[in-house]
Structure 1
Amino acid sequence: MKLVKTYGRTAKIAAALIASIEQRGAVSTARVEPVVRRILADVRKSGDTAVKKYAAKFDSLKKNQPLLVTREEMQAAWEATAPELQAAMMVARGNILAFAEAQLPKEWSISTADGVKTGQIIRPLGSVGCYVPGGRYPLPSTLLMTVTPAQVAGVERIVVCSPKPARETLAAAYLAGVNEFYRIGGAQAIAALAYGTALMQPVNKIVGPGNLFVTAAKQLVSTECGIDMPAGPTEIVVTSDQGYAPGIAADLVAQAEHDPETLAVLITSNEVLAKEVATEVKLQAKDNKLAKQSLTAQGAIFITKTIAEARDLTNRLAPEHLTVDSAADLKWVQNAGSVFVGDYAPQSMGDYISGPNHVLPTGRVGRVRGGLSVMDFVKVITVQEYTRKGLGKLGPHAIALATAEGLTGHARSVSVRMRSTR
C-alpha cells in the first residue's frame, strides 16, 4: 500500500493520488465502454443467439446446456448443501428480511386544509432483474441481498442472472423461492434483462453488483430500463485514529480479495497507527494473491495533519464501505454506502449476515444515495383529493400562481370546477 502524508513534502503526491481516486468511477467504466456497447447492440439485434454466443465464450456455457435453470436443479443444490451452510443462509435471509420490512415505506395521508387530503400510496415494481456475480467466487449472499428485499416489496416477477452459478448460489435461490434463473452474466445478461429476448421478457429495473463490464452495461441501458446504481469493484475506507491495527488490516485485505480493481484506503492523523496497519497488511496479504495485487495497485494510506482533515477527505471519497472508530463519528459522516462502527464490526459481517444490504454505491455515487434497499423495488405514488369546500379554499391561490406564469388553461381548469354546480 502507498503511504503518503497529505502535508509537507508529499502534499502534491497525495493531492494527485486523491484526485485520481475521486475520478475512479468515470475513468474505469470508460475503458470498457466500447466493448460493452458492441455486446449490447449484438444482443438487441440477435437476441438469444447472441446471448448464447457470449455465454459460451465468457461463461463456459456448454453447447446444449439450457440458459434457464430449473427449480429441480436448485432443489438438488439445496439438498447437497451442508447443514451448517443451510443454517447460515437461513439466518442471513431472516436478518435481510427483517431489515427490509423495517425499511418499507408506509402509506399515509394528511389534511392541509378543510376538504383537502394529500398523501402517498406504495406500489411494487412489476419486475426486476437481480444480477449475481459468479466469476471468481460463488456469491449466494448477493442472491439473498437482491431477491429478498424485492420479495418484501411485493415484486411479482423476480429474475436472477448469474454466470456459471455455483451450487451454493443455486441453493440460495431455492431457499429464496426463485422461479426464473438464467445462467448468464456480463454485459450480455444486462442486455437481455433490459431489452428482452425470445426466451426472457425484459424487466422494469436491474439491480446488483458486478465488474466494470456489468457496471458500464447497466449505465448504458439505464435510458430504457431502471437501474439501482453503479455497484462496481469493491471499495473500502477506514477512517481511524485509535483503531485496532490487525483488525483494520484484516478488513482492508478482506475487501481487497474481491477484485483486482478494489480500492482500499486508510485515512488517519495517527502516523504510528498508519505504519502499524501498513505492516499488518503486508503480513496478512502475503499468501492472498488477489488481495496483494489490488492492494499494490490501488491500496493507499493517507496520513493527515488533523482529524478534521481526515473526516473531510473521507466524505470527499464517498466510499462504498466505511469503518469509523465510534458511534460519535456518525455525526460527521455525510457520504458513504454503509458504515461500520468500532473494533468489533468487521465489514465482512455486513457482506453476509447483519441485514443491511451489501449492494452499495461505488465510484463516489455515495454522495447521492446509499445502498440497495426495499425502496429500490417500490414506487411512492402521491395522491391528492379535494371536496368542493377544499377547492374553494386553495383554488384561488392556484389560480393566482397560474396567472402569474401566464398559463391561462391551468387557471381555467381550477376556476371552472369552482363554478360547477354538480
Structure 2
Amino acid sequence: MRILKTFGASADAAAAAIAELEQRGATNTAKVDGVVREILADVQTRGDAAVRELSAKFDGLTEEQPLRVSREELQAAWEATSEELKAAMRLAQANIRAFAEKQLPRAWSFRPSEGMEVGQIVRPLGSVGCYVPGGRYPLPSTLLMTVTPAQVAGVERIVVCSPKPARETMAAAWLVSREASSVVEFYRVGGAQAIAAMAYGTESIGAVDKIVGPGNLYVTAAKVAVSQVVGIDMPAGPTEIVVTSEVGDATGIAADLVAQAEHDPEALAVLITSQEQLAEEVVLEVKRQSQENEIAKRSLAAQGFAFVTASVDEARELTNRLAPEHLTVDAGADVRWVKNAGSVFIGNYAPQSMGDYISGPNHVLPTGRNGRVRGGLSVLDFVKVITVQQYTLDALRVVGPHTIALAEAEGLVGHAESVRVRMR
C-alpha cells in the first residue's frame, strides 16, 4: 500500500494515480466481450443443451445433475447447517426485510385543482433473476441480499442461478423459499450462460424481467450485453473501499481495508486523510494484518493507496470524486459532505463487514464511480412506479386549452385535437 501526498514532491504521482482511479469504470469487459457474445448466442439458439455443455466445461456439472436444485436438496442443506449459522441467516434476513420495507415506495394521489387528480401506483416486477457467485467463496449473504428485497416488493417468481452452489448458499435458498408470497427457483448454473438463460429463456429456465446481482467479468459483460432485452441493476466491478478519516483508529481502519481487499486481487483499497502520521500508522497495520492473507496482499500491493491531502476539505473533495462503493467516515456530521458513495459507515464501531452481512442495507453496491448516479440495490429495483391521472369534464375545459396551446406550438395538431374533441 503506497502513501502519496497530494502536495509537495509526490503531487504529480498522486494526481496521476487519482486520475487513473477516476477513469476506472465499473469494469473493462472488452477483453471478454467476444467470448461472452458467443455464449449468449449459443444459449439463445440451443437452450438447455448449450447451458449444460457450458456448465460442464466451466463448472463441472455432471450429466446426472439436474439444472434445477430440488426443494429436497435445499431442505437437506438447511438441516445440515449449524444452529449458529442458521441464527445468523435468520437475523440477516430479518434486517434486510425490515430495511426493504422502509424503502418501499407508496401509492398516493392529490388534486392540483378541482376535478383533476394525479398520483402514482406501485407494482412489483413479474419475475427477476438473482445471480449469486459461487467461485472463490460461497456467498449465501448475496442470495439473502438479492432475493429478500424482491420478496418485499411482491415479485411472484424469483430465479436464482449459482454455479457449483455451496451448502451454505443452498441453505439460504431454503430459508427464503419458505416465503409464501413468491416462488423461488434455484439452478446450479453460473457464468454468462446463466445470464443468457435468464434473459432469453430455455426449456428449463424461463426468462425473467430483470437480472440483478454481482459476478465476475464474464457475468458483468453478459449482463451489459442482454440489457437491451431484459432489465439489469448495474454493471459490477471489483470491490472498492475508501476510508476518509482524521481521527480514526489505525487498527480498525486497516482491518476494514484488508477485509474488503480479500474479496478480489483487483479490489481497490484507499485511505484519504490530511494526517500524515495516521496514514503511516494505517499502512504499517495493513502490512501486518494482511501478512497471511494472500489475496488481500496482492490487491493492496496493486491498488492500495493512502492519499495524504493538504487539508480536510481536499480530503472530502477527493472522496466525492472517487465515488466509492464502500465509504467509512469518522462521525455522523461527516454525512453532510458526502455526495457520492454506495454505502456509508460511520465511526470505529461500524466495520464494513457488518454491512456485508447483517445490518440490512444492501451489499450489492455501485462500483466504478457509479456511485455518482445511483445507490445500492434496493427494493426500488424490484418495483415499477406507475403514474395515474384523471379529469372531470369541467376540469378538462379549464386546463385543456393550455395543453392545446402547447401542442400547437410544437406542431402536433393531433395532440391538440385529442383534447379539443372532448371539450365540446
| TM, length-normalised to structure 2 | 0.97
C-alpha contact (below 8 Å) 2:27/2:235 kept by paired residues: no
Which residue of the partner structure matches residue 67 of structure 2?
67
1:26 deviates by 5.7
1:215 deviates by 1.3
C-alpha contact (below 8 Å) 1:255/1:264 kept by paired residues: yes
**Aligned partner letter, 2:313:** A
**2:324 is equivalent to residue 301 of structure 1:** no
**Aligned partner letter, 1:89:** M
Runs of at least 4 residues of structure 1 off by over 6 A?
none
**Aligned partner letter, 1:318:** A
Q: Deviations over 1:176-219 (max 9, x none)?
A: 01631011111111111111111111100000111222112111
Distance 1:32 1:270 in 2: 42
**2:281 is equivalent to residue 310 of structure 1:** no
Secondary structure of the structure 2 residue equivalent to 1:360: coil
Within a 5 Å distance, the mapping from 1:278-357 to structure 2 comes to 278-357=283-362
Q: Deviations over 1:134-176 (max 9, x none)?
A: 1011111110000000001000110000011100100000000
Which residue of the partner structure matches residue 57 of structure 2?
57
Distance 1:280 1:34 in 2: 42
Distance 1:340 1:12 in 2: 30
Which residue of the partner structure matches residue 195 of structure 1?
200
Stretches of structure 2 lacking an aligned partner (at least 5 in a row): 178-182
C-alpha contact (below 8 Å) 2:26/2:369 kept by paired residues: no
Which residue of the partner structure matches residue 405 of structure 1?
410
Q: Deviations over 1:245-291 (max 9, x none)?
A: 10010001001111111111111111000000000000000000111
Which residue of the partner structure matches residue 206 of structure 1?
211
Within a 5 Å distance, the mapping from 1:122-141 to structure 2 comes to 122-141=122-141
Which residue of the partner structure matches residue 180 of structure 2?
none
Which residue of the partner structure matches residue 374 of structure 1?
379
C-alpha contact (below 8 Å) 2:26/2:235 kept by paired residues: no
C-alpha contact (below 8 Å) 2:244/2:330 kept by paired residues: yes
Distance 1:268 1:396 in 2: 59
**2:131 is equivalent to residue 148 of structure 1:** no
Which residue of the partner structure matches residue 41 of structure 1?
41
Q: Deviations over 1:211-239 (max 9, x none)?
A: 22211211111111100111232111111
Distance 1:146 1:255 in 2: 20
1:400 deviates by 1.0
1:27 deviates by 5.7
**Aligned partner letter, 1:17:** A
1:32 deviates by 2.5
Q: Deviations over 1:355-407 (max 9, x none)?
A: 00001011111110000000000000000010011111211111111111111
Which residue of the partner structure matches residue 28 of structure 2?
28
Q: Deviations over 1:109-155 (max 9, x none)?
A: 01011000000000000000000011011111110000000001000
Distance 1:400 1:303 in 2: 59
C-alpha contact (below 8 Å) 1:210/1:233 kept by paired residues: no
Q: Deviations over 1:62-120 (max 9, x none)?
A: 23211110000000000000001101100110000000011100000010110000000
C-alpha contact (below 8 Å) 2:27/2:238 kept by paired residues: no
**Aligned partner letter, 1:413:** S
Within a 5 Å distance, the mapping from 1:77-156 to structure 2 comes to 77-156=77-156
Distance 2:214 2:370 in 1: 13
> In percent, how many aligned pairs have the same letter?
72
**Aligned partner letter, 1:414:** V
Distance 1:231 1:397 in 2: 46
Q: Indicate the larger mover: 296-305 or 159-168.
A: 296-305
Which residue of the partner structure matches residue 17 of structure 1?
17
In the comparison of the two structures, how many residue pairs are matched? 419
**Aligned partner letter, 2:314:** E
Q: Indicate the larger mover: 270-279 or 63-72.
A: 63-72
Distance 1:214 1:274 in 2: 36
**2:419 is equivalent to residue 414 of structure 1:** yes
1:34 deviates by 2.5
1:25 deviates by 2.1
RMSD over aligned Cα atoms:
1.1
Which residue of the partner structure matches residue 228 of structure 1?
233
| TM, length-normalised to structure 1 | 0.97
C-alpha contact (below 8 Å) 1:95/1:353 kept by paired residues: yes
Distance 1:8 1:57 in 2: 54
Distance 1:280 1:294 in 2: 15
Which residue of the partner structure matches residue 257 of structure 1?
262
C-alpha contact (below 8 Å) 1:105/1:122 kept by paired residues: yes
Q: Deviations over 1:33-74 (max 9, x none)?
A: 222222222222222222112211221212321111000000
Distance 1:321 1:27 in 2: 16
**Aligned partner letter, 2:203:** A
Distance 1:244 1:33 in 2: 43
Distance 1:217 1:25 in 2: 16
1:317 deviates by 0.9
Secondary structure of the structure 2 residue equivalent to 1:238: strand
Match of 2:275 among 246, 251, 270: 270
Distance 2:44 2:368 in 1: 28
Q: Deviations over 1:280-307 (max 9, x none)?
A: 0000000001111111111111111111
Distance 1:116 1:76 in 2: 57
Distance 2:374 2:422 in 1: 41
Distance 1:382 1:292 in 2: 51
**Aligned partner letter, 2:146:** T
